[in-house]
Chain A
Amino acid sequence: MTVRVQQADFDAGEEIRRLRLAHPEAGAVVSFVGQVRDLNQDRQVASLTLEHYPGMTEKSLEAIISSAYQRWNIIDTVVIHRVGTLQPLDQIVLVAVSSAHRGEAFAACEFIMDYLKTDAPFWKKEKTPTGEHWLDARDSDQSAKQRWNG
């Protein structure tokens, strides 16, 4: 399990390659990359600033990944989340999961993202031509998480 919270960009291809080559017993690597959009709810986005709670962020990501390990037979995971000021097209987050077969890696990757969205202490502030504002949490993210409890 690798968890990194950093300002610097990451090379998703290199992270996936490393995850793949570290585990000959893995037959699947599933990954998700989130990036900054240039348009959010009809607002032109100039930049996005991510704040977090150092210490709790890492703990909470580790707890989310640990519950994924309990639910599925996964082999290894990499989660990288960026903080600081980002521009449209910048990468925000990488979640990559390896497992023996694809089904478990697909499920675990989506589970980790869904829980990260609602439980990990990150906050986004958006800068648009008309000013800056903090983004509100979305109900759709809560319901995405809740379907795992069904």
Chain B
Amino acid sequence: MIQLLYFARLREALNMDGEALPLTEAISVSALMASLAARGGAWQEQFDGTRPLRAAINQELVANTALIQPGDEVAFFPPVTGG
């Protein structure tokens, strides 16, 4: 399993702040995004690569080529706007 988290604009667009997904072998961030986009509707709009999205694995920012392992916490969110 992996734990997915969604924040800010993304959380509102998906109407969900997170979910657990089954995962038995490593997968890249971009492959996970493609499978989320394949759900269609708001998922496709948010994950088809046309909107700027950041990803974090176990609370560290990563590139889309990074590999997700079973047990990881994976977060997706828009570019940050704090300060």
Given the known interface contacts A56-B75, A123-B7, the answer about A136 and B56 at a Cβ–Cβ threshold of 8 Å is no
Residues in A neighbouring B61, C-beta threshold 8 A: 60, 119
Which residues of B lie under 8 Å from residue A136 when comparing CB positions? 79, 81
Interface residues of A, CB < 8 Å — how many? Answer: 29
Residues of A within 8 A of B9 (CB): 123, 134
Q: How far, in whole Å, are A81 and B82 apart by their CA atoms in the complex?
A: 9
In the complex the two chains form, what is the Cα distance from A81 to B81 in whole Å? Answer: 12
Q: Are B52 and A137 in contact (CB under 8 A)?
A: yes
Q: A81-B82, A118-B80, A134-B78 are in contact. Are A59 and B7 (CB under 8 A)?
A: no
A2 to B29, CA, bound (A): 33
- A-B residue pairs, 10 tightest by C-beta: A122-B82, A137-B79, A123-B8, A56-B59, A134-B9, A117-B83, A135-B81, A124-B81, A116-B83, A120-B82
Interface residues of B (CB under 8 A from A): 5, 7-9, 12, 52, 56, 59-61, 75, 77-83
